Amino acid sequence: MSRDDIPPYLNISPDRAAELLGPPADTPGFASVAEACRRGRQDLASRGLDETGERQLRLFSTWEITRYLIPVAPAHFRRVLRQNPDLPQGQSESAGGAKWFTLDEVLRLRAHFGAEGSKAKNYLPYRPKGLPAKIVAVANFKGGVGKTSTCAHLAMSAALDGYRVLVIDLDSQGSMTSIFGGQVEDEWQTVFPLLARHYATTLRADNQRRLDRGEPPLPFDDTLTEALKLKAPDLIRKTHWPNIDLIGAQLNLYWSEFQIPVWRMQSRGWRLWDALTDVLAEDGVLDDYDLVFLDTPPALGYLTINGLAAADILLVPFGASFLEFDSTGRFFDMLHATFASIEEGENVAARALGREELHFEWDAVRAVMTRYDAGQQAEMAGLIQAYMGQLLSPHRQDFTALIGQAGEQVNGIYEADYRDFNRETYARGRATFDATYAAFKMLLYGIWRREETARTAAAE
């Protein structure tokens, strides 16, 4: 056997290993690593900024618009622009060159085609009037399954489709916040004060009842007093997408996982699982948007429970491997145990008092297969489909080189300029996310039509 054939783990020298080891690690060393990563993160994120330090969404060409966004022939599109000089005319990088448009301009053009174009084409997305926004939670307690990527690209797809979108980052790692260029200084710019406000409202009512009974009130600290002053619109920030807004996250949000159980112990009547739902409805958020996307932490903690309980639609991404399939099955097992426990705990008292019992319900739950490699995982995917049935979304989200390249540039697929690749490579790369959105949109349309039909039947 030649030296090159010897496995690398044989004949390791202890002396050489000790030379390469370096000094022991200590607590301050973690701060040094964190600071180095912070500088690197700022450097990478800044590569997507313009000269003013802001992120700008790229322009969209006539080719992209007529192929992906407004279903008309390019020649007809250009003819409509010539006939309507008041419409956005786009900009060219050279005389006689292709026209490029901002997304704001695309949305204006879509509205024009929706009002004046062929009634046989769906220029505008379906959205029943009088119904609140749909809340979509993307969750799995296993990391690395494409959760944030799936959530971000669905939000971008919906925005390109013309929907008004709010993204709420519930993960203290803040990856979704970074994708949308959010700058969050502390937990007071996250959902934390909304949860605190919900608890404060409950505690204030509890304290009034205590006073009425002649009992001393529970402490009402400055945190709760300040939280009562804030509403969701105070925390919502614009992004570089004209129709995507954001409530961001940062590391301090994680302290919610420690604070929420303390509040729950102080006020057993606080329905913590209703906190996010109630404040979004109370503050009019569900009337201002069409879709609200929640990116949850990779754990079944209190923030995730809030997101899942608030959701109308639950999407669970996972890869086509035994370990991820196994982990996802355990995730559903924990979902059952968690929500069944909440229902049982609440309903014991509800039955005794003759009140309506608590019953969690979701419009739809789907598992989404991500990072799929047809050449390596087709058999495993088929087995998983056989066991999960309709619960598994019919589309399997492929991993392509375009996904990796976009990630290196802190961009989503839809933010990538096809001129950095070529049209064919770009079209193949985005096709898998287009199909993922199509499956989601089919789900969304079905839910909205079901509610619209039920509302009409109830009115008759």
Whole-structure pTM value: 0.90
CA 404 to chain centre: 19
Cα–Cα nearest to 291, from 170, 156, 173: 156
Furthest C-alpha separation in the chain: 88
Cα–Cα distance measured from residue 79 to residue 136, given in angstroms and rounded to the nearest whole number: 39
Task: Output b/e per residue, 23-32; b: 16+ Cβ within 10 A.
Answer: eeeeeeeeee
pLDDT of residue 118: 80
Q: What is the DSSP letter of 103?
A: H
The answer to whether 260 touches 202, Cβ cutoff 8 Å, is: no
pLDDT of the chain, 460 residues: tens digit per residue: 566 778 888 888 888 888 888 788 887 887 887 788 777 767 766 665 555 667 789 999 999 999 999 999 999 999 999 999 999 999 987 766 789 999 999 999 999 999 988 877 889 999 999 999 999 999 998 777 788 989 999 999 999 999 999 999 999 999 999 899 898 999 999 999 999 999 999 999 999 998 999 999 988 899 999 999 999 999 999 999 999 999 999 999 999 999 999 999 988 889 999 999 999 999 999 999 999 999 999 888 999 999 999 999 999 999 888 998 899 999 999 999 999 999 998 888 888 888 888 899 999 999 998 888 888 888 988 999 898 888 898 888 887 666 555 444 556 788 888 888 778 878 888 888 899 999 999 999 999 999 999 998 888 7
The pLDDT of residue 243 = 96
Give the separation between CA 135 and CA 288, rounded to whole angstroms: 13
**Paired sense of beta strands 291-295 and 60-61, if any:** unpaired
